[in-house]
């Protein structure tokens, strides 16, 4: 924590002068002719709020209000343009939140299903009827099946808040007090990499991207911070700024030429999706053959690179070096020519890249989360990390661990306390399996934790702030059939601000208040603000529309329905939502004289701390003294040969074609480039994160859709074969389903690969998804190690749509 006086904090934030106070009424000039005097508008109030959607950035906005209605939204106007003391400017999505509040599909009162589940037919009901029905079904499911049959599924639509939070928020607190619910682990974003690097390093955290200022070379694998974490609060802005500070050479390895490459990339190396581990093996072959790898570093800090560093009981010729040089089980040398056939990267390019990475220090090596979101994603994540240790680029200024960049630190109050008496946990991606075959799911077959086998199928789903029930989950057509079957999951509650693809399958829909309609803190830890921590207090700008209600107030009323005044009192502890915010602030900061009081924080709206003096370097302490600072792995070292994965490979029961190996080997992926099914579906497809939406959030806003169309990227060579031109409509299909997208012919995608933005809203008409949801084409089989989503491993064919 920075040691700064309270007075200085208040001066920075405007309460004592030095900048415009957050709650002041700001005059806004109107357009005027040359001879007219410029008029100034005044507003009833200008409130601070935060964008809590899960993009990886958490940005402040200022909400201008007249007559109880939002007139418009602007972004941060405190401080200047110099990076480190800059304005944290929200992107267009954050500034478009008014369109979410006043959306034509905004939910304004509770709804009850009247048709078949999935038909989307609902009628308006009262809050009393809605909560009575929910309470009755919860009690029924608990009595009949036990609390293990209740699921609050993975979601991220409001993950950036403290009270209006879809994870670890009011509903989890209440359901814990009701007896509990089935837990989940992993995330849709990082399921593979978080587990893979845990087995490799003991953690999957990375260095601050600002460490690029100390690097001489940057190598990115499938990393796109400029698009995925844009705005003044994200790593994309930091990335562009640090490149101005240090014009280091940048190499991007990616099937798609993304916005992160524009204006900064020195070399783009297109690669077949899902083949990163094959590329790494070939790079290692060159480094070993030419004696370029850092043997001293590998011997001191790592387990399993060479035979003499293998752990006990490892097989002979079982090291990574043996695998690469063809002395392992497959007896195949991982030459650049071998990798060229798999990755489609010329052998000459691989050789040059290997030499450059091995001889240029410091080298900042990072991967985005796209490379790991494949059916063999854990292998790719571990392989890319191997490059950092092979070249000795770990724990030093200008280096990273080969994982994704992280942030140096953050500041936020305590979180809403909750406790779940149920310990059983499922991989979050396998919730549909838990609905269909829950009692069959085991630890060694499905990655279940804290129990050998699940006790019950999921019978009740309480989905809040998320669209993963259908839109962000895989194989949407199959998922829809599961959700429609009332004999499987008996009751579904959906809580959101608008009608979505997911709440079409609900039995009861509850209308949530938006972040602009309630008081809350924005979770700094839910964003990646690099070495510049800040915190936002969202000031309530307007009253909730219609009968909309905050999660906390919903839970307060539902608590009384479930357990009378006794449960209500235990849940609230006598506090309102704002009183809880004050309590959580005081838990953390009441005795910290350098921090403002809660009342001062409420008035300020945004609090910015000065930059950390040194951006975070991952594993710096370990490299400085590996004995005193061992890693959180079984051996305390970097485990290129994972002792835990070795055990799993001998005990877990896997699906056909799956493989767990203690080494970061290249494993062929289901629906990958070498799958025989490619003869029928010759194009690989993946869904990239997009400027026009955050996952599926903001797609409900027509102005955002208009300027960010749902386009299918296809290489000119592939387009010509199919007689496709930019602007054409096309069918994209495989054995999972069919979608319609608008074609964009571009050389920014490599031949044999196609892509579209992920998050288009699933909308099935006459057997075709006309909403263009990429997950209509993806598979539900979880990965071997993490049981995570393989949504970038998909094969399709494309043909022109003729209406």
Q: 589-633: per-residue pLDDT in tens?
A: 999 999 999 999 999 999 999 989 999 999 999 999 999 999 999
Residue 104 to residues 101, 322, 499, 548, 705: CA-CA distances in angstroms? 9, 62, 9, 15, 15
Distance (Å, whole) CA 376 – CA 779 = 13
Of 260, 257, 188, 199, nearest to 225 by C-alpha is 260
Mean pLDDT for 739-751 is: 98
Alpha helices in 326-452 (DSSP H): 336-343, 347-359, 377-390, 431-437, 443-446
Q: Give me the pLDDT at residue 705, please.
A: 86
Task: Check which CATH number belongs to the domain holding 334 and give it.
Answer: 3.40.228.10
Contact present, 307 and 314 (Cβ < 8 Å): no
Residue 657 lies in a domain: no
Contact present, 724 and 730 (Cβ < 8 Å): yes
Q: Give me the pLDDT at residue 616, please.
A: 96
Q: Do 529 and 473 fall into the same domain?
A: no
Identify the domain containing residue 299 by its residue range: 192-408+619-651
Q: Do 163 and 80 fall into the same domain?
A: no
Give every CB contact of residue 192 below 8 A, 6+ residues apart in sequence.
Answer: 372, 373, 374, 377, 378, 380, 381, 783, 785, 786, 788
- The mean-pLDDT minimum among 385-394, 402-411, 642-651 falls in 402-411
Mean pLDDT for 123-127 is: 98
14-72 pLDDT, tens per residue?
A: 333 333 333 322 333 333 334 444 445 789 999 999 998 888 889 999 999 999 999 99
Count other C-beta atoms under 10 Å from residue 251's C-beta. 20
The SS3 assignment for 2 reads coil
91-113 pLDDT, tens per residue?
A: 889 899 999 999 999 999 999 99
Which of 497, 530, 564 is the endpoint of a domain? 564
Percentage of the chain modeled with pLDDT above 90: 84
**C-alpha torsion angle, residues 73, 79, 84, 87 (rounded to 10):** 10
Q: Give me the pLDDT at residue 217, please.
A: 98
Count other C-beta atoms under 10 Å from residue 34's C-beta. 4
Mean pLDDT for 163-183 is: 96
Distance (Å, whole) CA 87 – CA 237 = 11
Residues forming beta bridges with residue 755, ordered by sequence position = 686, 713
Q: Give me the pLDDT at residue 3, please.
A: 43
Residues forming beta bridges with residue 509, ordered by sequence position = 111, 494
Q: Do 226 and 360 fall into the same domain?
A: yes
Q: Do 347 and 198 fall into the same domain?
A: yes
Residue with tokens 């994982």: 403
486-513 pLDDT, tens per residue?
A: 999 999 999 999 999 999 999 999 999 9
Residue 766 scores a pLDDT above 90 = yes
**This prediction's pTM:** 0.94
Q: Give me the pLDDT at residue 37, please.
A: 44
773-791 pLDDT, tens per residue?
A: 999 999 999 999 999 999 9
Q: Do 370 and 488 fall into the same domain?
A: no
Q: Do 120 and 252 fall into the same domain?
A: no
β-strand pairing of 711-714 with 753-757? antiparallel
Of 38, 41, 87, 82, nearest to 62 by C-alpha is 87
Distance (Å, whole) CA 155 – CA 694 = 12
Residue 378 lies in a domain: yes
Instruction: State the angle between helix axes of 336-343 and 347-359 in degrees (0 to 180), rounded to the nearest 10.
Output: 120
Residue 140 scores a pLDDT above 60 = yes
Residue with tokens 């495989």: 734
Q: Do 70 and 7 fall into the same domain?
A: yes
Q: Do 304 and 225 fall into the same domain?
A: yes
Give every CB contact of residue 187 below 8 A, 6+ residues apart in sequence.
Answer: 154, 156, 194, 428
Give every CB contact of residue 615 below 8 A, 6+ residues apart in sequence.
Answer: 207, 208, 209, 210, 211, 213, 408, 530, 531
Percentage of the chain modeled with pLDDT above 70: 95
Q: Do 481 and 579 fall into the same domain?
A: no
Q: Which residue has the higher pLDDT, 28 or 276?
A: 276
Residue 655 to residues 448, 452, 670: CA-CA distances in angstroms? 15, 18, 11
- The mean-pLDDT minimum among 33-37, 374-378, 401-405, 563-567 falls in 33-37
Cis omega (within 30 of 0) for bond into 362: yes
Q: For 647-681, give one letter per residue: b (16+ CB within 10 A) or e.
A: ebbeebeeeeebebbbbbbbbbbbbbbebeeeeeb
Residue 662 lies in a domain: no
Task: Check which CATH number belongs to the domain holding 696 and give it.
Answer: 2.40.40.20
Mean pLDDT for 725-738 is: 98
Residue 461 scores a pLDDT above 70 = yes
What's the whole-number average pLDDT of the chain?
Answer: 93
Residue 658 lies in a domain: no
Q: Do 456 and 484 fall into the same domain?
A: yes
Distance (Å, whole) CA 278 – CA 384 = 10
Of 198, 183, 119, 189, nearest to 153 by C-alpha is 183
Q: Give me the pLDDT at residue 672, please.
A: 97
Mean pLDDT for 134-154 is: 98
Q: Give me the pLDDT at residue 4, please.
A: 42
Distance (Å, whole) CA 695 – CA 780 = 18
Residue 9 scores a pLDDT above 70 = no
Residue 477 lies in a domain: yes
Q: Give me the pLDDT at residue 55, please.
A: 87
Q: Do 149 and 289 fall into the same domain?
A: no
Q: Which residue has the higher pLDDT, 53 or 216?
A: 216
Radius of gyration of the chain (CA): 26
Q: Do 219 and 339 fall into the same domain?
A: yes
Distance (Å, whole) CA 58 – CA 28 = 25
In the chain, the number of structural domains is 4
Structure token pair of residue 370: 């796209």
Structure token pair of residue 28: 């806004």
The order of strands in the sheet holding 520-522 is: 520-522, 534-538, 606-608
Residue 442 scores a pLDDT above 50 = yes
Task: Please provide the DSSP assignment of 99-148 as one string.
Answer: HHHT-TTB--S-EEE-SSTTS--EEE--HHHHHHHHHHHHHHHHHHH-GG
Count other C-beta atoms under 10 Å from residue 65's C-beta. 17
Residue 659 lies in a domain: no
Residue with tokens 């699940």: 454
Structure token pair of residue 781: 């089989």
Task: Please provide the DSSP assignment of 688-716 as one string.
Answer: E--TT-BTTBTTT-HHHHHHS--EEEE-H
Contact present, 641 and 316 (Cβ < 8 Å): no
Residue 76 lies in a domain: yes
Distance (Å, whole) CA 337 – CA 756 = 31
Per DSSP (E only), the strands in 287-413 are 302-303, 363-367
Residue 663 lies in a domain: no
Task: Check which CATH number belongs to the domain holding 156 and give it.
Answer: 3.40.50.740
Residues forming beta bridges with residue 256, ordered by sequence position = 749
> How many alpha carbons fall within 13 Å on the CB side of residue 517?
24
């Amino acid at each position: 924590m920075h040691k700064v006086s309270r007075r200085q904090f208040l001066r920075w934030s405007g309460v004592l002068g030095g900048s415009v106070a957050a709650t002041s009424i700001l005059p806004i000039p109107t357009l005027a002719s040359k001879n007219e005097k410029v008029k100034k508008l005044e507003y009833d109030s200008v409130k601070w709020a935060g964008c809590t959607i899960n993009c990886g950035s958490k940005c402040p906005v200022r909400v201008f209000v007249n007559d109880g209605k939002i007139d418009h939204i602007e972004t941060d106007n405190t401080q200047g343009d110099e990076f480190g003391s800059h304005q944290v400017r929200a992107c267009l999505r954050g500034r478009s939140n008014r369109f979410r509040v006043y959306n034509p599909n905004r939910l304004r009162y509770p709804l009850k299903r009247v048709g078949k589940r999935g038909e989307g037919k609902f009628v308006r009901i009262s809050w009393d009827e809605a909560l009575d029905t929910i309470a009755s079904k919860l009690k029924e499911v608990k009595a009949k099946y036990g609390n293990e049959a209740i699921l609050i599924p993975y979601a991220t639509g409001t993950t950036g808040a403290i009270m209006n939070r879809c994870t670890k928020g009011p509903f989890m607190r209440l359901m814990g007090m009701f007896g509990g619910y089935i837990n989940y682990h992993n995330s849709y974003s990082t399921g593979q990499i978080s587990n893979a690097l845990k087995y490799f390093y003991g953690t999957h955290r990375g260095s601050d991207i600002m460490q690029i200022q100390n690097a001489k070379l940057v190598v990115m694998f499938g990393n796109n911070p400029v698009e995925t974490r844009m705005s003044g609060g994200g790593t994309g802005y930091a990335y562009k700024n640090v490149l101005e500070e240090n014009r280091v050479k940048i190499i991007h390895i990616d099937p798609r030429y993304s916005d992160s490459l524009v204006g900064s990339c020195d070399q783009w190396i297109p690669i077949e999706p899902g083949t990163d581990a094959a590329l790494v093996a070939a790079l290692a072959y060159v480094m070993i053959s030419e004696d370029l790898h850092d043997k001293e570093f590998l011997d001191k800090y790592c387990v399993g690179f060479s035979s003499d560093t293998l752990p006990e009981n490892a097989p002979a010729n079982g090291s990574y070096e043996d695998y690469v040089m063809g002395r392992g089980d497959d007896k195949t040398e991982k030459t650049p020519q071998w990798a060229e056939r798999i990755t489609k990267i010329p052998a000459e390019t691989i050789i040059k890249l290997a030499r450059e990475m091995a001889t240029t220090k410091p080298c900042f090596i990072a991967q985005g989360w796209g490379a790991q979101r494949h059916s063999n994603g854990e292998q790719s994540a571990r392989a890319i990390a191997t490059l950092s240790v092979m070249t000795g680029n770990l724990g030093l200024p200008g280096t990273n661990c080969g994982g994704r960049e992280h942030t140096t630190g953050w500041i936020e109050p305590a979180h809403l306390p909750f406790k779940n008496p149920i310990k059983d946990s499922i991989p979050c991606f396998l919730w549909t399996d838990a609905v269909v075959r829950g009692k069959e799911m085991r630890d060694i077959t499905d990655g279940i934790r804290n129990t050998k086998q699940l006790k019950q199928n999921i019978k009740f789903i309480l989905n809040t702030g998320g669209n993963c029930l259908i839109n962000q989950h895989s194989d949407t057509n199959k998922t829809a059939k599961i959700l429609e079957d009332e004999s499987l999951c008996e009751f579904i509650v959906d809580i959101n601000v608008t009608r979505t693809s997911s709440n079409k399958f609900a039995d009861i829909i509850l209308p949530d208040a938006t972040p602009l309609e309630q008081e809350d803190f924005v979770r700094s830890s839910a964003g990646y603000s690099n070495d510049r921590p800040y915190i936002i207090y969202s000031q309530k700008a307007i009253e909730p529309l219609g009968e909309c209600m905050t999660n906390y107030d919903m839970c307060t009323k539902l608590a009384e329905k479930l357990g009378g005044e006794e449960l209500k009192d235990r849940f609230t502890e006598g506090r309102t939502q704002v009183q809880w915010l004050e309590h959580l602030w005081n838990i953390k900061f009441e005795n910290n004289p350098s921090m403002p009081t809660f009342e001062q924080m409420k008035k300020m709206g945004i609090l910015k701390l000065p930059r950390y003096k040194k951006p975070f370097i991952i594993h710096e302490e370990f490299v400085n003294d590996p004995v005193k600072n061992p890693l959180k792995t079984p051996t305390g070292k970097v485990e290129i040969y994972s002792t835990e994965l070795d055990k799993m490979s001998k005990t877990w029961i896997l699906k056909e074609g799956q493989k767990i190996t203690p080494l970061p080997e290249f494993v062929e992926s289901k629906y990958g480039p070498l799958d025989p099914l490619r003869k029928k579906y010759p194009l690989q497809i993946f869904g990239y994160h997009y400027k026009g939406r955050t996952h599926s959030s903001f797609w409900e806003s027509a102005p955002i859709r208009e300027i960010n169309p749902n386009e299918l990227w296809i290489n000119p060579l592939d387009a010509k074969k199919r007689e496709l031109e930019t602007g054409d409509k096309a069918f994209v299909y495989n054995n999972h389903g069919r979608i319609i997208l608008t074609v964009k012919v571009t050389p920014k995608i490599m031949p044999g690969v196609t892509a579209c933005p992920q998050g288009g809203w699933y909308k099935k008409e006459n057997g075709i998804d006309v909403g263009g949801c990429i997950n209509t084409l993806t598979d539900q089989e979880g990965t071997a190690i993490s049981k995570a989503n393989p949504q970038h491993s998909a094969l399709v064919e494309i043909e022109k749509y003729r209406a």
